[in-house]
Amino acid sequence: MADVNNKLGLTDDERIVYYSTGTKNNVAEIRRYDPTYGFLTLHDPMLNTQIDFFWDSGSSIWKGTGINSGYTVDISIEELAPLVKQIDTDVPETATTVSRFPT
């Protein structure tokens, strides 16, 4: 496939993932990804359906929602893990004002 990026910044090859229905593995394409809230939407071209997943931080697995609750997806791209909140300790609690005009 051509090395073309989409709105997610992924190439065509990177958008192809495999998900498990519990009994077999299927091929799908990443359509939406929200690392902040941990949501992922895949499109299965064989079934012509959208499948939603959420990130389960306890087991570190993407799990299906609704009627697809038994589904899991394994993504090999490490950048697709949800963001972890970090607190910057080098920032002071109060802002300091700096004058633009020399005195």
Nearest to 31 by CA among 20, 48, 69: 48
Q: What is the pLDDT of residues 19-64, one digit of tens each?
A: 898 898 999 988 888 877 888 899 999 999 999 999 888 888 889 9
Domain boundaries, given as residue ranges, for the chain: 1-103
Cβ–Cβ under 8 Å, residues 29 and 43: yes
Residue with the larger pLDDT of the pair 70 and 6: 70
Burial state string for 42-55 with b = 16 or more CB within 10 A and e = fewer than 16: bebeeeeeebbbbb
Nearest to 71 by CA among 34, 28, 35, 37: 28
